[in-house]
Amino acid sequence: MEGRPNQTVDDSPQHRRHGPATPSKQPVAPSNKVDTTSVSQRLQKELMSLMMIGGDLGVSAFPEGESIFAWIGTIMGGKGTAYEGLSYKLSLCFPADYPFKPPQVKFETMCFHPNVDQFGNICLDILQDKWSSAYDCRTILLSIQSLLGGRLPIVYELELCQRFCFCLTM
């Protein structure tokens, strides 16, 4: 009877057919579930930050009702602008994947500005394709306040004057 040669097991990665019996240290693919706890915590931190310094800047925001994902914000018109002395109410709806997606922000108070449509939707790059997870609610409100304080196109200024003058003559 011939003896078999002493066989050794080649356990090199090239010869392994199946994964090891112990768990792999490779990263696990992310699940599709959204961790709303971390989003809630971030929004609570942003709320605290706004409460501490927001009012001094002419902006404020608070959750509307019980949901931390729906806020009502207020922006005061900047000094030396056509909006000085005016107060604007906005709605902010934060998605479940915030801050990786921007919130939906809309004027609830009528605002006459070329970047705001008749329904209160705001055309602002940081609320669309230029969004960054580094932005927060305070940044959004200050950006909108700055948008209102920016130089309006001359054609729009003339149209505004004509509307205003027409209202005064009635």
Active-site residue flag, 161: no
Helix (H) or strand (E) holding 104: strand 104-107
Cβ–Cβ contacts within 10 Å for residue 152, how many?
18
Q: Which of 93, 111, 123, 165 is catalytic?
A: 123
Distances from the Cα of 152 to the Cα of 121, 123, 165, angstroms:
18, 14, 18
Separation CA 105–CA 147 (nearest Å)? 14
Catalytic residue annotation: 123
